[in-house]
Structure 1
């Protein structure tokens, strides 16, 4: 950190142009905004910092730092390049930077290569690198960029005529403002919401109430998030994050950086509406590909409707590279198997993968890349335990499948493949109250490693006929035999509720045990409790 701060300060004092090399997802774009803003804030008013940024195009460039971009940067006079949310495995880029006379600062959170180590750079800021004493190893990329931003702003505050006042303003005004974007990235990148990450999310969500920056305000408006209260982590994860990610998936992620930097409300509204439309396009593209994937998954089931104990690898040349990661997540949800989804372009297969608990996907790719001196497999790959990206020659895809099948045979044990649902408490029907929901709200934010509580209530009765919504979702009216009843909704993201209800022969009067999360529906300013179904089964008395 010390070397990085000193080099950036030197560049700002000398008027050197600086390039921030970002990434195209929520984490990378927000990290770019944070660091650019911080560097510009430490420059003297009469000599603004010369900070530009490069956010790669997902399809034309792919993931990671590209040597040709560094070449263009050097030609334009840039001598300092700072990566955010990328670079920890950019060995070729680091060598190219050195050859071009560029100083490279790497800020990243992804896991380094166990064998090759870390790239040669002026400074590498990554809590996951060997020997780093920083206690939180699970910061997202934007949080690592925030740490560098904090160090820059803190050093700058110490040089002001009234350092104490400058540090007070930093602590009470600037850092809380920065934490809005760090919280969005922390939630969107699904890092564990514990320890420092939890503090970042909690503080940042609080600051998102009634934001002032035009871009963030416009984006929350098109996402239909109220501006009179702080959003929840769920709202950020399912309403804000997809719209930010849509730019990198379907078009140019640089629009996100511009959105969060602009001070023009009209331009902000235009960009926010563009992201909203891109998200609609993404959903349509995803749905089309998912229909084809559903057919392939049906063919993979055995006579008992089960999947083999292996990593599911599917590919198709027409699938859009921008939605591969989402499709992999959908396959994992439907199969409880790790999944890799690939598409083809110019003789190369590009893919994204998602995994299940107990199966480290990056370790799996590392193991099959070059086993026991065999030929290497990937052109490039990276990620972490639960999510990866990769590129390999299309004609090596069958070899990839064979190697992954062998690796999975050793590691996808019955214990790993047995899905489990954790229940936090069993409560009686009478305990399901608005007061209990208020206590649940005090436990927020919920997310990775901080899951929302799941409750069990036994022996409830279906008080009315089952109602299906759009032939995919289900609505149940439940009672314990008293005059009170509650609505329970099941959304068919991971469970085929119509099929499930049919398999249990549920009808009005059936008695069931229910696993659920608490929800509140607000209609005409009236708050009404609902249950969101997690699972259900016949009560013992109905077996």
Structure 2
């Protein structure tokens, strides 16, 4: 296992100076750069203006024409949770606004690959589409745009991925990361871009007198449950703008105003909608929704989010839950195989390279990204896991570490070694690519060199952030409850973690595979508390005497009784900091 350094923010030895949960939240917000606690989740009225999104006017022009002329609009989404929620939002929102001919298509991960392709454009034409509206893709689809022009189809692109050197020749492009866009939130998820497009479209239609007694103006805020789910699922930065979208969406979920599909997915995951948090979306709902795109087709996930029939939504959510269990089994097998490859490298006397590229002949394309993430976490190396895409090609999914921009590293390889990569795209922390036949070994060498350019031979020591030592008097259910709803917490606005030395009273392995560590620990000057360390069963030998724990506060509910529980993220020697 890679060594981990505990970093307190701010760097201080004394316990946090707070006596009540409200005081504690103010301290924690300050640690995250907020001097005003109200800025943790400001209101909808303070969202960044829609007018600052470049390309919005042209997109609205084309869609208003389509709606008024009763043209057919086909939503083409991505096969992840951001794409699924964005597709459902686009279909629901356009129908809410009065569009009568709206349908969707999600390209197959296995037969079509990612995003809008010429083949998908031809399929859209065959379905009678007049306008293609992309969701969470399209910014790199140059060939598809050319085919759409040949067939006489209009294309409106909504995306948030980083563009290449040239933009595709679409009718309109709305992407906060395109050149010339002054939108302040560059971290808007794909579903967030769609929400802004719908808001701008509603404004234009309102000005033209489109709404009236027979066609009431919709309240788009009622669709924020989908925006919140997709934003959290895509692990984008929870900057001010995204915190507004997520917090407002969660408010509606807790009030019982979510769509039937979101409520059903929470139900099969065993989560209470009235107490839903961003963590519930990220760790319980999103994996079940993503399972459809990983193992079969994401159309199942989109349909689950589109239906208003609770029984039908629940039946589809149960299918997604079964797919997620299957995905976890496949992932476990692939992870074991990948770790065996790494173990062989170590046994051969070789040190791990700064970047990892692994391939399994029988690996599943839909799970390779999760395997890459697990290995990245274990070995603190940017990792790309490849699976067979057919015809000798390999499709890879990569995950990065702090300090390495993964898409830029792949772009570096593509520029210096043209001909290896057929397609690539992504972000700083995650990217996907397809290799041409016979190109794995030269790509692996080039990727390692690209990582060295950014990081050097040895990646920096990973750190786990802590807000400091929590006073024993704040280790209470009341504090846990305040922290639960004090967010939304997520990327770049992390859930509060604390660290301190505890005395281990009892330690045992739990779970079907005995991978988890169940503890009873005593804090300095406090009573014994239950704790659980998921996936840290291998640390059982170290779990005795005095240990330093990095933990989060949680509430354990069992048979109607609630008790405080620590969720342990790291267990270290008492002197390890």
Establish whether TM, by shorter chain, passes 0.5. Answer: yes
Q: Pairwise mapping of residues 224-239 of structure 1 onto structure 2 (< 5 A)?
A: 224-227=270-273, 229-239=274-284
Change (3 A) 1:480 1:189: closer
Q: Does 1:90 align with 2:144?
A: no
Secondary structure, counterpart of 2:354 in structure 1: coil
Change (3 A) 1:287 1:106: same
Output the CA distance in 2 between the equivalents of 1:438 and 1:263: 32
Q: Does 1:537 align with 2:572?
A: yes
Q: Is the 8 A contact 1:307 1:335 kept in 2?
A: no
Q: Is the 8 A contact 1:81 1:104 kept in 2?
A: yes
Output the CA distance in 2 between the equivalents of 1:331 and 1:276: 24
Q: Does 1:138 align with 2:187?
A: yes
Aligned to 2:505: 463
Secondary structure, counterpart of 2:554 in structure 1: strand
| Structure 2 gap ranges (5+) | 1-55
Change (3 A) 1:163 1:302: farther
Q: Is the 8 A contact 1:359 1:416 kept in 2?
A: no
Q: Is the 8 A contact 1:34 1:149 kept in 2?
A: no
Secondary structure, counterpart of 2:386 in structure 1: strand
Q: Does 1:126 align with 2:175?
A: yes
* Mean CA deviation greater in 334-343 or 30-39: 30-39
* Mean CA deviation greater in 64-73 or 74-83: 74-83
Task: Choose the corresponding residue for 2:386, options 342, 357, 361.
Answer: 342
Aligned to 1:421: 464
TM-score (norm 1): 0.90
Q: Does 1:488 align with 2:531?
A: yes
CA shift for structure 1 position 299: 2.0
Change (3 A) 1:379 1:526: same
| Structure 1 gap ranges (5+) | none
Q: Is the 8 A contact 1:207 1:230 kept in 2?
A: no
Task: Choose the corresponding residue for 1:396, options 439, 452, 469.
Answer: 439
Coordinate RMSD, CA, aligned: 2.4
Aligned to 2:107: 56
Output the CA distance in 1 between the equivalents of 2:400 and 2:423: 19
Output the CA distance in 2 between the equivalents of 1:483 and 1:385: 43
Aligned to 2:225: 180
Aligned residue-pair number = 517
Change (3 A) 1:467 1:303: farther
Change (3 A) 1:175 1:539: same
CA shift for structure 1 position 79: 2.5
Aligned to 1:151: 200
C-alpha distance after superposition, 1:222-267 (max 9, x if no partner): 222224x141111111111111111111111111222222233332
Output the CA distance in 2 between the equivalents of 1:67 and 1:412: 37
C-alpha distance after superposition, 1:266-325 (max 9, x if no partner): 322321221111111111111121121221122233699x95242111101211111111
Q: Is the 8 A contact 1:362 1:383 kept in 2?
A: yes
Q: Is the 8 A contact 1:39 1:152 kept in 2?
A: no
Q: Does 1:318 align with 2:362?
A: yes
Q: Pairwise mapping of residues 39-438 of structure 1 onto structure 2 (< 5 A)?
A: 39-43=94-98, 49-113=100-164, 115=165, 117-160=166-209, 170=218, 174-209=219-254, 210-211=256-257, 213-227=259-273, 229-301=274-346, 308-344=352-388, 345-371=390-416, 374-413=417-456, 416-438=459-481
CA shift for structure 1 position 42: 2.6
Output the CA distance in 2 between the equivalents of 1:58 and 1:323: 11
Output the CA distance in 2 between the equivalents of 1:360 and 1:299: 28
CA shift for structure 1 position 456: 1.8
